[in-house]
Amino acid sequence: MNLPIVFLGPSLKLDKAKQIINAEFKPPAKKGDFIKLSLMSETRKIVLIDGVFLQDYPPTPIEVFQVISKSNFKVYGASSIGALRAVELEKFGMEGIGKIFELYKKEIINSDDEIAVTFDSDYNLISEAMIDIRYNIFLAWKHQIIDKETKQIMTKIAKRIYFPYRSYDNIIEKSLDLFPSCREFILKFKDYILSNRISLKELDAQITLKYVSSLIEKNT
């Protein structure tokens, strides 16, 4: 059986991904990658997780549709650009997986910048995804590290920062400058996030690869 093709970058470390699924891993998808795939004749499962943003153009919905429309491919999307494309193309047969896909599908979130990040050549994050920032601020509130006011303030400030510059350091600094009355809770969050950061994008990527791997095992 042909190995599935997985477009993966900063959402999940490659070594972790390889522990989950035996696949042909490719770097974050860019414009043209899916056109090349559409020319392939063998049967393949395609998993779209990460794509480029600032570095190049991501694959367009039309490009991904060209692959979906061919009977020898099954395309799955999650976590990042994959979740976006899955919402746009679900009615044509692309399968979306994970919490982020569901949030887009239900229109709880609706902008591309929720999942956009910048990263270095080794796919280490330079900026944080807004959806992960929301999730971690929510968890801090849920665990009573911060109050509701601080939760709302920090989330709004994070959203106003252009995505390449979204980092917890920048969010905390701006929050302290603009809302000194919340200083105690902001500093508590600063301590909390150092050792409690969770990535919803990573969780969704892991769930997706486990799911696709289980499908392959059933067919072998």
Segment 38-58, tens digit of pLDDT: 888 888 999 999 998 876 788
Output the pLDDT for position 41. 86
pLDDT in tens, 126-168: 999 999 999 999 999 999 999 999 999 999 999 999 999 999 9
Residue 28 pLDDT more than 90? yes
Output the pLDDT for position 53. 80
Output the pLDDT for position 220. 66
Q: Is residue 200 very low, low, confident or very high in pLDDT (cuts 50, 70, 90)?
A: very high
Kindly report the number of other CB atoms within 10 A of residue 214's CB atom.
Answer: 10
Residue with tokens 């959402």: 11
Q: How far is CA 112 from CA 11, 27, 43, in A?
A: 15, 20, 31
Beta bridge partners of 29: 51
Q: Are 139 and 201 in contact (CB under 8 A)?
A: no
pLDDT in tens, 2-21: 899 999 999 999 999 999 99
Kindly report the number of other CB atoms within 10 A of residue 64's CB atom.
Answer: 30
- CA-based end-to-end distance of the chain: 8
What are 62's two structure tokens? 């039309």
**Three-class SS of residue 120?**
coil
Beta bridge partners of 125: 119
Mean pLDDT of the chain: 95
pTM of the model: 0.93
